[in-house]
Amino acid sequence: MDLFSNSFGNAESQQSGSKIDWVNVTNIEQLEQMIDESEGKPVVIFKHSTRCGISRMVLKRFENEYDLEGKITPYFLDLLAHRHISDAISQQFGVLHQSPQLLLIKDGKSVYNVSHDEIDASALNQQIAKNYPS
């Protein structure tokens, strides 16, 4: 591992040890999969910059608070490796690009999006309860 990776990490090292079973977004075709899946189950997209300390801190806090296993499908996007996918997400869901950013997708639309220190697992839980009532 080079000095840069040691200092800043990469998407895979960021996710190692995570209790979240992230689906890595690596190709644009996965957007259609997300849209289809959001018809019946909450889909969450976490957009993360592996070079940003704030993004890393927010990701770790979110992962530590996370208790939605089995309730959602969590997608993880490494912005540095796949900025073109982030741009497509912004266009598809009508949200301004941010980093870090969390989007909740329902029925093919973004029904909730937050960035930076507004990213909070308990707030996401509330949004899921609001948008997917039992």
Binned at pLDDT 50, 70 and 90, residue 1 comes out as: very low
Name the DSSP class of 37: H
Whether cis (ω within 30° of 0) applies to the bond prior to 133 is no
Mean pLDDT score of the chain, rounded to an integer?
88
Binned at pLDDT 50, 70 and 90, residue 17 comes out as: low
Helices then strands, counting H and E runs in the chain, come out as 6, 5
Instruction: Give the β-pairing of 101-106 and 23-24.
Output: unpaired
Q: What is the pTM of this model?
A: 0.86
13: domain range? 3-131
* Two tokens, residue 41: 């189950």
Q: Look at the chain and report how many structural domains it folds into.
A: 1
Q: Distance between CA atoms of 119 and 127, rounded to whole angstroms? A: 12
**What pLDDT was estimated at residue 16?**
53
More confident site: 17 or 3: 17
Q: How many Cβ atoms are within 10 Å of 88's Cβ, its own excluded?
A: 14
We report the CATH number of the domain holding residue 62 as: 3.40.30.10
Residue-wise pLDDT for 56-101, tens only, equals 999 999 999 999 888 999 999 999 999 999 999 999 999 999 999 9
Alpha helices in the chain (DSSP H): 3-8, 11-15, 30-37, 53-65, 83-93, 121-131
Q: Distance between CA atoms of 133 and 119, rounded to whole angstroms? A: 21
